[in-house]
Amino acid sequence: MTDLLADIEELVRCESPSSDHDAVARSAEVVAAVGRRLLDAEPERIVTDGCTHLRWRFGDAPKVLLLGHHDTVWPLGSLATHPFSVRDGVLRGPGCFDMKTGVVMALHAVAALEDRSGVTILITGDEEIGSPRSRPLIEDEARGCDAAFVLEASAAGGALKTRRKGTSMYRIVVEGKASHAGLEPEKGINAGVEIAHQILAVSALDDPERGTTVVPTALSAGTTSNTVPANAVVAVDVRAWETDEQERVDAAIRQLKPVLDGAKLRIEGGINRPPLDSASSAGLFRLASALATELGLGELTETAVGGASDGNFTAGLGIPTLDGLGAVGDGAHADHEHVIVDEIPRRTALLNALVKAVLSQ
């Protein structure tokens, strides 16, 4: 347990916001050092568009992929307000739950294997922003594997994540025309008003009965309080359980037209991750449940969640995928982010047993 906690502390104390490539590179070196000590093997450093990922491959025929990420949503300086600590059986610190504890668990679980042949560990550096640079890498590593185990944090109560919504991410960009808001507003084309029309249009694409959400999020428009806005942009977050729902919303967003005369509209982004269907995880969940019983870990539970992970990519390729195998705790991306310490070795033992079971098949 002491070694696990010390390694988690090393990773948490090295802040790694996704958007800061230098910080992510520093974090990769910390992860590499921990892995090198545990596995007696140097990882490959794979840099895509400035973002650093790590890969350990054992053997010539990959069978099991352990998948995680070392980037976080927390900006540099977060340790000053959310310091690393372990008190009363609870570990805290930025990124501890999502998902630096899971990274350490993966390294320890593989280190405990007598035979690692067939195992690949892939730790990426851009998951929190949708894996734009690592997706091809993830999919290449997953192809041909018998199982992908995702070290994202568990759901409430330690539940494994056996179903996830697919995600789509868009930016609706409006080009209008500036003018003086007091002297001649009629000579402008108000991008702020146009973006408001578009926000209402995309919000109407929700389908609560099918669990589809279309949510306008980050919004900006204009430059000064007395100028008709010449530009505006809104981000749109889409989640859906089914691929056809993703495609319906995608088609509708791409068909949006300007409402104001002279306004121009541009759509950026698109479908990001396919859904992780329960069929992708059912067999592995049954295996995990049986192993948990053998190990005396108690009954495992499962759940469906709206958030997506890189497991959506592996499941989308038809690779059996089990997610949520990482830390047990709560508060991903929030001030109360934390990990239950006693569950760390228990879940690490389960992961080790799962990998051995798949390798032996």
Q: Pick the catalytic residue: 7, 9, 15, 71?
A: 71
pLDDT of residue 207: 97
Instruction: Tell me the average pLDDT across 329-350.
Output: 96
Q: How many domains does the chain have?
A: 2
The reply to whether 15 belongs to the active site is no
User: What percent of the chain has a predicted confidence (pLDDT) above 90?
Assistant: 98
Among residues 273, 302, 334, the one where a domain terminates is 273
pLDDT tens, position by position, 70-119:
999 999 999 999 999 999 999 999 999 999 999 999 999 999 999 999 99
The answer to whether 255 touches 218, Cβ cutoff 8 Å, is: no
220 phi/psi in degrees, rounded to 5: -145, 150
| Distance (Å, whole) CA 41 – CA 178 | 59
Q: What is the largest CA-CA distance in the chain?
A: 78
Residue 1 pLDDT > 70, yes or no?
A: no
CATH number of the domain at 24, please. Answer: 3.40.630.10
Instruction: Based on the fold, state whether residues 205 and 339 are members of the same structural domain.
Output: no
Query: Mean pLDDT over residues 21-36, rounded?
Result: 98
pLDDT reading at 314 higher than 80: yes
- Token readout for 90 is 């609870």
Determine contact, residues 229/223, Cβ cutoff 8 Å: yes
SS3 159: coil
Say whether 71 is catalytic: yes
Sheet holding 90-92, edge to edge: 85-87, 90-92, 338-340, 329-330
CA distances from 206 to 67, 99, 274 (A): 32, 30, 18
User: Which residue of the set 98, 127, 152, 250 is catalytic?
Assistant: 127
pLDDT tens for each residue of 165-183:
999 999 999 999 999 999 9
pLDDT of 217 higher than 70: yes
Do 124 and 25 fall within a single domain? yes
CA 55, CA 211: separation in Å to the nearest integer? Answer: 36
Instruction: Look at residue 44 in the predicted model and tell me its pLDDT.
Output: 98
Using one digit for the tens of pLDDT, what is the confidence trace for 267-307? Answer: 999 999 999 999 999 999 999 999 999 999 999 999 999 98
Q: What pLDDT shows up at residue 2?
A: 76
The rounded percent of the chain whose pLDDT value lies above 70 is 100
Asked if residue 63 and residue 11 are part of one domain, the reply reads: yes
Range of the domain at 44: 2-164+275-360
User: Do 135 and 58 belong together in one domain?
Assistant: yes
